[in-house]
Amino acid sequence: MHSWQLQQAKAHLSDLIKQAAAGQPQEITVRGEPTVVILSTRQCERLIHPKPTLINFLRQSPLFGNELEITRDKSPDFLIC
């Protein structure tokens, strides 16, 4: 992650934005302290709306709650001679 002092960030805002849009987070410091991080919209969306867990994904399925008829094949896997 590239770090910018606030004054540098102001002077090179277009470069900072291009790098962030390319997927490289940009940190801005104020008085030497990390203060903010600039992210691309895509990276921000991934943080705000993470992918659902498998269980939540299956629960949101239109088939959730439908009964499944599962039968087990009881034939032996091998023959004993």
Q: Please check whether residue 30 is in contact with residue 49, taking contact to mean a CB–CB distance below 8 angstroms.
A: no
The amino acid at 79: L
4, 5, 20, 76 from 11: Cα distances, Å? 10, 10, 16, 76
Would you kindly state where each structural domain of the chain is located, as residue ranges?
2-59
pLDDT per residue over 13-69, tens digit each?
999 999 999 999 999 999 999 999 999 999 999 999 888 899 888 888 888 888 878
What CATH code is assigned to 2-59?
Answer: 3.40.1620.10
Residues 2/5/8/12 CA torsion (nearest 10 deg): 40
Residue type, 59: R
